[in-house]
Chains A and B, each alone.
Chain A
Amino acid sequence: MKHRLMALALTGWLAPILACAAPASIKQAPPPPPYAGVYQPHGVDEIGLWHDDDEDERRLAGSPLVIRDEALNHYLKDLLCRTVGTDRCQAARIYVLRTPVFNASMSPNGTMRVFTGLLLRMHSEAELAAILGHEFGHFERRHTLSRFKANRSGTDLLSWAAVLTAMAGSYQAYSNFDDLQTSVYGGLYHYQRDNEREADLLGLGYLNASALPPQAAARVWQNAMAEAEASAVVRGLRKPRFDAVAFTASHPPDAERAAYLGALASPEGASRDAGEERYAAAMAPWLPQFLDDQIKLNDFGASEYIITSLAEGGWSACLWNARGDLYRLRGTQRDLVNAAAFYGDAVRLDPRLADAHRGLGLALVKTGRREEGLAALRRYLMLKPNAPDAAMIGMLTMKETP
Chain B
Amino acid sequence: MFFRYCLAAALSLTIVVPAAAQERTALKNGFDPLDARGKTVLVMRPSVRVGSQSTGGMFEPNGDWTDQSKKNIDAALAKIQAKLGNKVVVAPEAFGEDARLTDEYAALFAAVSQSVITYQFFPGNRLPTKKRENKADIFDWSLGSGVADLPGAKDADYALFIYNKDAYGSTGRKLLQAFAMLGPGLAVKSGEHAGYAGLIDLRTGDILWLNADGAMGGDVRTSEGADKRVGQLLEGFPGSQLEKATVASATAP
Contact = CB atoms under 8 A, between A and B. Distances in A.
Given A64-B100, A174-B3, A177-B7, 12 more contacts: A44-B64, A49-B61, A51-B63, A52-B49, A52-B61, A62-B102, A152-B60, A154-B56, A158-B14, A162-B7, A163-B179, A166-B4
A165 interface: yes
A151 B67 CA distance: 25
Interface string B86-110: 0000000000000110111000000
A181 interface: yes
Interface string A155-170: 1111110111111010
Contacts of B54: 152, 155-156
A155 B186 contact: no
Contacts of A49: 61
B178 to A, nearest CB: 10
A50 interface: yes
B19 interface: no
Contacts of B242: none
A44 B62 contact: yes
A158 B180 CA distance: 13
Nearest to B14: A159
Interface string B4-15: 101100110010
B183 A167 contact: yes
A78 interface: no
A7 to B, nearest CB: 43
Contacts of A64: 100, 104
A48 interface: yes
**Of A162, A166, A177, most B-chain CB atoms within 10 Å:** A162
Nearest to A66: B100
Contacts of B99: 61-62
A256 B212 CA distance: 50
Contacts of B30: none
B61 A155 contact: no
Contacts of A45: 60
A215 B49 CA distance: 44
A187 to B, nearest CB: 14
Identify which of A64, A155, A156 gathers the most chain B CB atoms within 10 Å of its CB: A156
Contact of B58 (A151, A167, A181): A151
B184 A181 contact: no
Contacts of A160: 55, 176
Chain B contact surface mostly: helix
A171 B7 CA distance: 12
A148 to B, nearest CB: 8
A47 interface: yes
A59 interface: yes
Interface of A: 44-45, 47-52, 59, 61-64, 151-152, 154-160, 162-167, 169, 171, 174, 177, 181
Given A152-B58, A174-B3, A162 B11 contact: yes
Contacts of B238: none
B66 interface: yes
Contacts of A61: 99
A177 B4 CA distance: 12
A390 B49 CA distance: 50
A47 B66 CA distance: 11
B51 interface: yes
B7 A174 contact: yes
Interface in B42-73: 49, 51, 54-58, 60-64, 66-67
A181 B54 CA distance: 18
B103 A47 contact: no
25 contacts: A44-B60, A44-B64, A45-B60, A47-B62, A50-B63, A51-B61, A64-B100, A152-B56, A152-B60, A155-B14, A155-B58, A156-B54, A156-B56, A157-B56, A158-B56, A159-B57, A160-B176, A162-B7, A163-B176, A163-B186, A163-B188, A165-B7, A166-B7, A166-B180, A167-B184
Contact of B3 (A48, A171, A181): A171
B172 interface: yes
A159 B61 contact: no
Contacts of B6: 174
A64 B91 CA distance: 21
Contacts of A51: 61-63, 66-67
B66 to A, nearest CB: 6
B61 to A, nearest CB: 3
Contacts of B57: 155, 159
A155 B63 contact: no
A163 B56 contact: no
A156 B54 CA distance: 7
B172 A163 contact: no
A162 B57 CA distance: 13
Nearest to B3: A174
B11 A48 contact: no
Residue of B4, B14, B61, B99 with most partner-chain A CB within 10 A = B61
Contact of A48 (B7, B14, B62, B184): B62
B23 to A, nearest CB: 27
Contacts of B7: 162, 165-166, 174, 177
Contacts of B11: 162
A48 B103 contact: no
